[in-house]
Amino acid sequence: MFCPSCGKEATPGAKFCTECGKRLPEEVNAPVDTSPVDSSPIDPPKKKKIPVKFILALVILVAVLALGGKLLSGFISGNGGGGKGSIVAVTNPNFRLNDGFIVPVEQQKSAPTGFIPISTATEFDKIRQNPSADYILMADIDLSGWSWTPIKQFNGTLDGNGYTVSGLNATLIEETKDALIQNLSVHGQITDDGAGIVHELKDSVLYNCCFSGSVDNSSGSAAGLVYTVNDSTVDSCYNTANVTANKSVAAGLAARGTGDRYVIQNCFNQGNILNLGNDTSSLSYNYAAGILGRNERCSGTIRHCYNSGSIRCKDNDDYPIYSYYGTAMACGILGYAQVVEGDHLSVSLCYNSGTVEGGDLAFGIGLAWGTSALRTQVNNCYNSGEFVHSNSYGIAGCVSDSGNIVDLPITYCYNASTTGAAAISNNSTNLYQCYYLDEVSEAVPGGPLFSDVFALSAHEMAKKDSFAFDFDTVWTMGKGDYSYPVFGYRNFEIVDAIA
């Protein structure tokens, strides 16, 4: 049994956790909390000095939202959400793509004190001459005709003010450090580069931004918004661009999560993601995912996110296969988790409704690598997307590490797809309160018996009483075309502004 508050293993029969002092649940088999805001048992990150301008910007943001009476809410839109291909807002139930931003932006008519106004492409290009200053857009910026060179390093604040930078043919910014980029829309056709907005987001925040167009990297990995999220937060952002990687990783939001700890929250992908699988190395692994391609040896939090785009990772038989399962893996949310001892990865309140096709292996939510499964947790998630091949599994699982397969905790989840080899996992039996549509015959290959996994008919799936979910603060029943459980409303708060 594990403490739902801090994630530490609890003494059998104990009423309180010896690590954090919180009361333990009475149910011996219940390993997690069902809190809709932060069910992650990640240890607090190392303290870092946060620039004053970040604090001021976030305080102003909260004040504006409060005064406007626009408290942000959860995943559910007017149509009930969660159906295949449906548009479901992450933080604003009235959001539609033509609104441009998840969080509504009231454009400022004049630059705030301390900010440099930008109205032309020439002025925008001059950011590179003073990358530590604070900037605000006062008009749309068209970079068409420019052979754009990414701004090498940006350390200031870039407030898009609800405007769009368009005509981009390369990543906007190479690297950030202690930066804030917010309220910015970017459109471009990115070729031979890894991301649309930032290549490496380091000790920074990307807030309320979006990218549209395409990203096509013929030499390696690619992602819609950010290539690497390094000790940073991506919050209330989305991608609608089609993303194509030649090899390694293709992802909708970010290719890699690294550093000590990162946070990706309140985000979604609607672009089609394709990895061509052309890795020629002897240890060739290729991944495609809707939100994050790879968690690389660190702690991370992915919550309140969804994917509705098509996710595909091709199996190129011309190149070597190293692992038992092969090289081409596709997942709706997280493509690959490598979590070292002492770190933890949490994927919670996420769902996939897009088609997932992995040449060798596919999951609706995500997968872990070998012993990393012990330090990865999938909690309060669901999949309604369908699979193309039979080597596919509804929620999550893990791949072998020298024959060492470790159970991945999967709790309070359900799978509504009708395809795949099994409904919940490829090998994990660490399952608690999981459900699946009975058109898929078994939860895990081999038909093991579970006391907390239930096969439901379509009629039962549409009934609240069929689920032991938290319908007070986490879930609600869908309406209209999608009548299965969806995520309910939550109050907005700034969490881990800088991880």
Q: Give the tens place of pLDDT for each residue, 438-468.
A: 999 999 998 888 999 999 999 999 999 999 9
> Of the candidates 444, 310, 431, 457, which has an alpha carbon nearest to the alpha carbon of residue 373?
431
**Tokens, residue 315:** 């199996």
CATH number for the domain that contains residue 104: 2.160.20.110
Q: Is the pLDDT of residue 176 over 90?
A: yes
Integer Cα distance of 44 and 23 in angstroms: 19
How many of the other CB atoms lie within 10 Å of CB of 330? 33
Cα dihedral value 121, 124, 129, 132, nearest 10: 180
pLDDT at 284: 65
pTM of the model: 0.83
What pLDDT shows up at residue 482?
87
pLDDT at residue 52 greater than cutoff 50: no
Please indicate, yes or no, if residue 121 is contained in any of the structural domains: yes
Summary mean pLDDT of the chain: 81
Closest-CA residue to 486 (of 467, 495, 334): 467
**What domain range includes position 235?**
90-470
Q: What is the mean pLDDT of residues 376-393?
A: 94
Half-sphere exposure of 20 (CA within 13 A, CB side): 16
Q: Residue 37 falls within a domain, yes or no?
A: no
CA angle, residues 329, 303, 137, in degrees to nearest 5: 100
274 within a domain of the structure (yes/no): yes
Query: In the predicted model, is pLDDT for residue 375 greater than 50?
Result: yes
Confidence band, pLDDT 50/70/90 cuts, at residue 12: low
**Burial environment of residue 337 by CB neighbours within 10 A (0 to 12, 13 to 18, 19 or more):** buried
User: What residues does 212 pair with on adjacent strands?
Assistant: 187
Residue 382 pLDDT exceeds 50: yes
Give the per-residue pLDDT at 9. Answer: 62
Contacts of 296 (CB under 8 A, 6+ apart): 256, 257, 258, 338
Residues in the chain: 499
Burial per residue of 182-217, b for 16 or more beta-carbon CB atoms within 10 angstroms, e otherwise: bbbbbbbebeebbbbbbbbbbbbbbbbbbbbbbbbb
Nearest to 414 by CA among 445, 385, 449, 451: 385
**Is 54 a residue whose pLDDT tops 60?**
no
Quote the tokens at residue 339: 């979590």
**Tell me, what's the pLDDT at 280?**
62
Q: What is the largest CA-CA distance in the chain?
A: 68
Name the helix (H) or strand (E) containing 54: helix 52-67
* 12 within 8 A of 1, measured Cβ to Cβ: yes
- Residue at 168 is within a domain: yes
Instruction: Tokens for 334, please give them.
Output: 């997280």
Q: Which residue has the higher pLDDT, 51 or 120?
A: 120
pLDDT tens, residue by residue, 234-272 = 999 999 999 999 988 999 999 999 999 999 999 999 999
Query: Which has more pLDDT, 418 or 44?
Result: 418
d(CA 4, CA 39) in angstroms, rounded, equals 8
- 3-state secondary structure (DSSP) of residue 437: strand
d(CA 87, CA 162): 21
What is the C-alpha separation between 443 and 455, in angstroms, rounded?
8
Closest-CA residue to 154 (of 137, 136, 178) = 178
**Mean of pLDDT values over 347-370:** 92
Is 60 part of any domain?
A: no
Residue 30 lies in a domain: no
Average pLDDT over residues 219-236: 95
| Distance in angstroms (rounded) separating the CA atoms of residues 173 and 191 | 15
Closest CA to 251 of 284, 219, 205, 220: 220
Q: Say which DSSP state 129 is in.
A: G
From 66-80, 200-214, 374-388, the region with the lowest mean pLDDT? 66-80
What band does 295 get if pLDDT is binned at 50, 70 and 90?
Answer: very high
Please state which of the ranges 48-57, 387-396, 403-412, 468-477 shows the lowest mean pLDDT: 48-57
Helix (H) or strand (E) holding 461: helix 458-461
- The answer to whether residue 84 is domain-embedded is no
Query: Could you give the number of structural domains in the chain?
Result: 1
- Residue 10: CA atoms inside 13 Å, Cβ hemisphere, count? 26
Angle ∠(299,216,86) on CA atoms, nearest 5: 70
Tell which wins on pLDDT, 340 or 142.
142
Between 207 and 401, name the one with better pLDDT. 207
Q: Which residues contact 240 (CB under 8 A, 6 or more apart)?
A: 97, 210, 211, 212, 224, 269, 270, 271
Using alpha carbons, list the distances in angstroms from residue 126 to 52, 112, 156, 167, 190: 24, 19, 13, 17, 21
Helix (H/G/I), strand (E/B), else coil: 489 = coil
Q: Is residue 216 part of a domain?
A: yes
Q: Mean pLDDT, to the nearest integer, of 35-47?
A: 34
Chain-centre distance of CA 247, in angstroms?
20
> pLDDT tier at 481 (50, 70, 90 boundaries)?
confident
Is residue 189's pLDDT more than 90? yes
